[in-house]
Amino acid sequence: MTAPKPITDGLSLLDRPNSYIGKTVPRPNLDRLLQGRGLYVSDMELPRMGHVVFLRSPHAHAKIVAIDIAAAKLKPGVIAIVTGQELAAVITPWVGVLSHLKGLKSAPQHAIAVDRVCWQGEAVAAVVATSRALAEDAIDVVFVEYQELDAVTDMRAALEPEMTVIHPSLGDNLAFERVHDAGAVDTAFAASDEIVETEFVFGRHTGVTLEPRAVVADWNAAEARLTIYQGTQAPHMVQNIAALHLGLEERQVRVVCKDVGGSFGIKVHIYADEMATYALSRLLRRPVKFVADRLESFNTDIHARDHRCKGRIGVTRDGTITAFEIDDLTGIGPYSMYPRTSAIEANQVVNLVGGPYVTKNYRARARVVFQNKNVMCQYRAVGHPIACSVTEGLVDLAAAKIGMDSIEIRRRNLVPDDAYPCASASGLKFEQLSHHASLTKLVEMMNYESLRAEQAALRDQSIYRGIGIASFIEVTNPSAAFYGVGGAKISSQDGVAIRLDAQGAVICQTSITEQGQGSESLTAQIVGSVLGVSMERVRVILGDTDNTPYGGGTWASRGAGIGGEAALQAAKILRKNILDVAAAILQSTPAELDIADNAVVNIGDGAPRIELRELARIVYFRPDTLPPGIQPELMATRHFVPREYPFAFTNGVQASWLEVDTATGFVKLLKHWVVEDCGTIINPQLVDEQIRGGVVQGLGAALFEKCVYDDHGQLTNANMADYLVPMSGEMPDIDVGHVVSPTEESELGAKGAGEAGTAGAAAAVANAVNDALSPFGTVITEIPLTPQVILTALGRI
Amino acid sequence: MTVPMPISLHINGERVDALVLPRQNLADFLREHLHLTGTHVGCEHGVCGACTVRVNDEIVRACLMLAVQTHGTSVQTIEGLSDSGEVADLQAAFRERNALQCGYCTPGMLMSAQDLLKQQPEPSRDQIREHLSGNYCRCTGYQAIVDAVEMTARSRRVRQQ
């Protein structure tokens, strides 16, 4: 655990009777979800609510010649059938660019396609009916005449001169390019004893949130106000965008976010069909509900990680890594997503490759191209799995080339733990990382030497097991450097308002959101700890733009580090205000008093003086008994945003132990270990579960998950039977350990933990598979590592 | 086949009489007619397990069964299992072990876990993983769920001794 930080001259956070920071306590309000009494958007019903179903393009690229809605209009229950042209009168199109991503371009995107469709799954028309089933009946008899156009599918061909340009006004299919050149790369390669070069291929995959995207939009014409109930990670961002494109003021839009059935970055974007639903509500002056079905989810939820990245590493015989070089190519679909853009992932790859290592020689190019496939954008651990797999894959290849153990080469090259603060070759600023302490801990946890012995013994019996190691860094607590500087109205600060109610309990409104990570719990833990109030007396309100301070929400591993610090600072102010009132009531001084266990106590001997319930009673109902001149303020608000560092980097290392069946190509995951450093740990159990869940998401990418498109841009496995996700039977137990380096940027010292697991899991597995297959002299640099990929590499098929 | 048909069944111990379209599946019937929204819909093609309910003591995918097929049966949903207290210990173990994050898979997961514990009072971790392998959870990575089911099995055995 981290060193406790004093909040008063006397007691520290961890000494106090209600110290929840650093302790495993159950999340509040879990019974609601356990008893099936949650309220997800898909559960919501409003009076006069219509259900919208979208007719979606069967073609990857086509001109819309005509839409015939005559038969559909006659179907029972139909309220309206709306085309893109008609909806464009209500909602304006958007362009997903940010000014700090220099040169990024995209084309205007409409809520419903106008004249042309650019991917299989783009909405062409909307049918609103009294039930979803009736809307689906009607959509069957909406007839669209298409004229098919050439589709750009292979990202490698997208930039060829003869290739169709998806948006002619942009000139070519290149959306964004970034180059970076640091140190003396050519000199470093020339001085290397060995250079290893290869291409890494990543399968396009997607989030598969168990609850599909869902929204209920309710335009109340009489109030001139739109209420949007949506499972979103960023309510204020949705408020801003909806208002902007519907021609409203933000005060006319309220976004409410109740329970969310999984997000992982899928629900942090603005989707065309969600915009269409807002607009339809406005157009029809009644509530409209959209819930994607699973097939639509596969075709329209953002995809991610479709990258081909060439990588090169130089190494000397003593194991010194001399340089990294990458050339990354990614296809993002026909539009850059809005408003976060689809250039961030490639940008992150450039930022993060080589990040854990000492070498300053680094050259990178990343190109982002348009194609006629579903849109790609930020998904849990944006860019990290690519960067980590490329970096760690190259490091293992370099180690193999010079005959060095994979732990040893990392020991020789990871940035020393006493070298901070420092910067990476890509220019990232690191405050304090702990690569070596983490690696040492990992080696102990996994009993590395005996695992190697076991591996060798089994290999003699033709059992092929492998160990894979992956060090990583993770971007957390983003400042305005992420989006704000580029012009997006996505707040990097968060706010917490906290008040003592009339019975001495605490109500806390926070701008971070909850999708299961534990935002509510960490807020209550911090507030309870600082105030000296038991957690069950802290009620946390989230996810409502009318009823929380303004803020970013929960994404990019920012909830605990940013929202948590705002909660801590707000609680400190409320604590001071309570003690001021208590001192007046008790004819004492604030310095002589403390709050513990829901009562004001003597700071010296801890003797109870007045319960908070009694203090609240006096303040709210008998202020006449207070001394003159006292105006109690039992509500406090504080905001927080990191200013010193653009990001609070975390670090860690993962290891995979697995067995490859060389006859069938199947991989059996036997065990997985993670050591990570997220700074101050607020709730160890929640951190560990974030890590485990993140790892399994990365394991899915490593072994199973891939959106398989054919040459015509048709997604051929858009269902859960054909697109494989990790299920309990194939997943290993995951041991999690910690090193704690708190950030000095906040009093809390917490960094994020939500994406570390996903960042390094696939790299560890890929390295382990290659380790297992090393007797066969084959190296695989492609994920997912399906039986087909493995058997092909082994020459068996 | 498009005319509503009368059905009569017991849901969570209460008699329900309803007119349902033949095409309506059990999940939609529970959610839309009876507002039992604890039965979640994840894939609507029988893969994810979110809609798992119990029909005549067997767990089924409510998205793969038609409402008309439940005529004369007894259906239990998460609301019923919660109100009766049948899975209270399992729910407590899930809470203690943080075996749920977003909670969307949880009702189905509890249904499947309880089904296993009724059949097999001493399941191994592998057996738990196998039995739950039809219930997709994107959040937890499953380990906490396996732990919670294992804990419950252990505490039930202790109670019976």
For the stretch A208-228, pLDDT in tens is 999 999 999 999 999 999 999
Please report which confidence band the pLDDT of residue A3 belongs to, taking 50, 70 and 90 as the band edges.
very low
Closest-CA residue of B relative to A733 is B143
Q: Work out the minimum CA distance from A558 to partner chain B, whole angstroms.
A: 17
**Identity (one letter) of the amino acid at A617?**
R
Domain end, chosen from A594, A616, A640, is at: A640
Tell whether B92 and B147 lie within a shared domain.
yes
- Domain of residue B140, CATH code: 1.10.150.120
CA distance A694 to A123: 32
For the stretch A605-621, pLDDT in tens is 999 999 999 999 999 99
Q: What percentage of residues in chain A have a pLDDT greater than 90?
A: 97
Tell whether A453 and A505 lie within a shared domain.
no
B75 near B10, Cβ under 8 Å? yes
Q: Is the per-residue pLDDT at B59 higher than 80?
A: yes
Residue A161 lies in a domain: no
Q: Is the per-residue pLDDT at A1 higher than 70?
A: no
ipTM of the complex: 0.98
Tell whether B93 and B156 lie within a shared domain.
yes
In which domain, by residue range, is B117 found? 87-160
Tell whether A407 and A504 lie within a shared domain.
no
In this complex, do B98 and A686 lie within 8 Å of one another by their Cβ atoms? yes
For the stretch B114-143, pLDDT in tens is 999 999 999 999 999 999 999 999 999 999
Tell whether A626 and A676 lie within a shared domain.
no
Tell whether A293 and A339 lie within a shared domain.
no
Which one-letter DSSP state was computed for residue A414? Answer: B
In this complex, do A43 and B37 lie within 8 Å of one another by their Cβ atoms? yes
Tell whether B93 and B119 lie within a shared domain.
yes
**Identity (one letter) of the amino acid at A122?**
E
Q: What is the pLDDT of residue B159?
A: 87
Find the mean pLDDT for residues A542-571.
96
Find the mean pLDDT for residues A705-715.
98
Q: Is the per-residue pLDDT at A7 higher than 80?
A: no
Domain end, chosen from A247, A279, A300, is at: A300
Mean pLDDT of chain A: 96
Tell whether B51 and B111 lie within a shared domain.
no
Q: What is the pLDDT of residue B2?
A: 81
Tell whether A592 and A669 lie within a shared domain.
no
Residue A559 lies in a domain: yes
Find the mean pLDDT for residues A768-789.
98
Tell whether A244 and A312 lie within a shared domain.
no
Please report which confidence band the pLDDT of residue A9 belongs to, taking 50, 70 and 90 as the band edges.
very low
CA distance A508 to A28: 13
Output the 3-class SS for chain B: CCCCEEEEEEECCEEEEEEECCCCEHHHHHHHHCCCCCCCCCCCCCCCCCCEEEECCEEEECCCCEHHHHCCCEEECHHHHHHHCCCHHHHHHHHHCCCCCCCCCHHHHHHHHHHHHHHCCCCCHHHHHHHCCCCCCCCCCCHHHHHHHHHHHHHHHHHHC
Tell whether A560 and A673 lie within a shared domain.
no
Which residues lie across from A594 on neighbouring strands? A601
Residue A18 lies in a domain: no
In this complex, do A727 and B36 lie within 8 Å of one another by their Cβ atoms? no
Tell whether A272 and A143 lie within a shared domain.
yes
Domain end, chosen from B53, B81, B109, is at: B81
- Total beta-carbon pairs less than 8 A apart between chain A and chain B: 178
For the stretch A269-310, pLDDT in tens is 999 999 999 999 999 999 999 999 999 999 999 999 999 999
Tell whether B113 and B55 lie within a shared domain.
no
Helices (H) and strands (E) in chain A, counts: 19, 31
Whole-model pTM over 0.90: yes
Tell whether B133 and B147 lie within a shared domain.
yes
For chain A, the domain total comes to 3
B103 vs A516, A685, A692: nearest CB: A516
- Domain of residue A370, CATH code: 3.30.365.10
Tell whether B55 and B98 lie within a shared domain.
no
Q: What percentage of residues in chain A have a pLDDT greater than 70?
A: 98
Tell whether B91 and B75 lie within a shared domain.
no
A206 near A296, Cβ under 8 Å? no
In this complex, do A210 and B50 lie within 8 Å of one another by their Cβ atoms? yes
Tell whether A386 and A524 lie within a shared domain.
no
A261 near A211, Cβ under 8 Å? yes
Tell whether A756 and A652 lie within a shared domain.
yes
Tell whether B76 and B94 lie within a shared domain.
no
With H, G, I as helix, E, B as strand and everything else as coil, classify residue A465: strand
A293 vs B44, B132, B135: nearest CB: B44
Residue A182 lies in a domain: no
In which domain, by residue range, is A88 found? 41-149+212-260+266-300
Residue A631 lies in a domain: yes
Q: What is the pLDDT of residue A14?
A: 59
Residue A500 lies in a domain: yes
In this complex, do A721 and B77 lie within 8 Å of one another by their Cβ atoms? no
Q: What is the pLDDT of residue A145?
A: 98
Please report which confidence band the pLDDT of residue A15 belongs to, taking 50, 70 and 90 as the band edges.
low
Tell whether B9 and B77 lie within a shared domain.
yes
In this complex, do B138 and A693 lie within 8 Å of one another by their Cβ atoms? yes
Please report which confidence band the pLDDT of residue A2 belongs to, taking 50, 70 and 90 as the band edges.
very low
Residue A193 lies in a domain: no
Residue A23 lies in a domain: no
A721 vs B21, B45, B107: nearest CB: B45
In this complex, do A30 and B135 lie within 8 Å of one another by their Cβ atoms? no
Closest-CA residue of B relative to A298 is B43
Find the mean pLDDT for residues B10-24.
98
B44 vs A294, A696, A733: nearest CB: A294
Q: What is the pLDDT of residue A12?
A: 56
Tell whether B13 and B31 lie within a shared domain.
yes
Q: Work out the minimum CA distance from B157 to partner chain A, whole angstroms.
A: 23
Residue A263: list chain B partners with CB under 8 A.
102
Tell whether A652 and A779 lie within a shared domain.
yes
Residue A731: list chain B partners with CB under 8 A.
129, 141-143
For chain B, the domain total comes to 2
Tell whether B75 and B113 lie within a shared domain.
no
Which residues lie across from B10 on neighbouring strands? B15, B74
Tell whether A143 and A289 lie within a shared domain.
yes
